[in-house]
Amino acid sequence: MTAGRAAGRRAGASGTRETILAAARRRFGDHGYNGATIRSIAADAGVDPALVHHFFGSKEQLFVAAMRLPVAPGEILAALEAGSRDASVSTGEQLIRTALTAWEDPAVRTTFLGLLRSALTSEQAARMLREFISEAILGPVARAVSAGEAGGTPGLAGAAGGARGDIADAEYRAGMVASQVLGLAVARFVLALGPVASASPDDLAATIGPTLQRYLTGEIRAGGASPAGGDGSARPDP
């Protein structure tokens, strides 16, 4: 609750930018998405709130910049496109390697876990994070998957075929990718389960990359012609 209108002391635009981002990471980490305000972040950084708006626009945009998201929307799309061109490294592997690289930065981990904590303790925060993930991450992935399945990028079409190229299906695929990436973060950094916490990025990429690739392009619905399950609807209840 310090004054939010401290005089802006600029040591060059890029220095000020970094100061604001550092303050934003601390605020988002400590208070979640809702609790952190542009005003409080500006106060922490010793600048006028108007300068924060000038540099970053909305709180959402500041959030994206401050988070250095483990799987940033732009990087996801780049990976998806690269995966379509380069068959030697799957899109799924590129996604998990992008997340692992981002998490090597302790500040990113701290912010990420702060967000998860706020989502667990506040329905309001969970809704905000859900909306953010849906809009900034799942949406772009879903559109890319859907476009790929429709025949635009052969590398993403995979086994799914064009018939399933609807947005609802693509959002489900993106959501399942998110579930495994989130779960890895919980197991590796929150619970620090021994063998998962100490695993090398290469091992994790070899383990999880094919999972994400299958979620993006494989046959993953009950009743589909999956290699293992046959017609899932005919399965007896356990």
Nearest to 56 by CA among 93, 28, 90: 28
- Options 156, 208, 216, 217; binder of a copy of itself; rule CB under 8 A: 208
Contact present, 125 and 33 (Cβ < 8 Å): yes
Nearest to 90 by CA among 219, 201, 213: 213
Nearest to 110 by CA among 56, 159, 66: 66
Nearest to 132 by CA among 42, 60, 227, 73: 60
Q: How far is the CB of 7 from a copy of itself (least distance, A)?
A: 36
Q: How far is the CB of 43 from a copy of itself (least distance, A)?
A: 25
At residue 230, φ and ψ (nearest 5 deg) are 65, -140
Residue 149 within binding range of a copy of itself, rule CB under 8 A: no
Site for a copy of itself in 62-121 (CB under 8 A): 88-90, 93-94, 97-98, 101, 113, 116-117, 119-121
Six token digits for residue 199 = 């695993």
Site for a copy of itself in 153-192 (CB under 8 A): 168, 171-172, 175-176, 178-184, 186-188, 190-192
Binding stretches for a copy of itself (CB under 8 A): 88-90, 93-94, 97-98, 101, 113, 116-117, 119-121, 126, 129-130, 133-134, 138, 168, 171-172, 175-176, 178-184, 186-188, 190-196, 199-200, 202-203, 205-211, 213-215, 220-224, 226, 228-229, 232-233, 235-236, 238
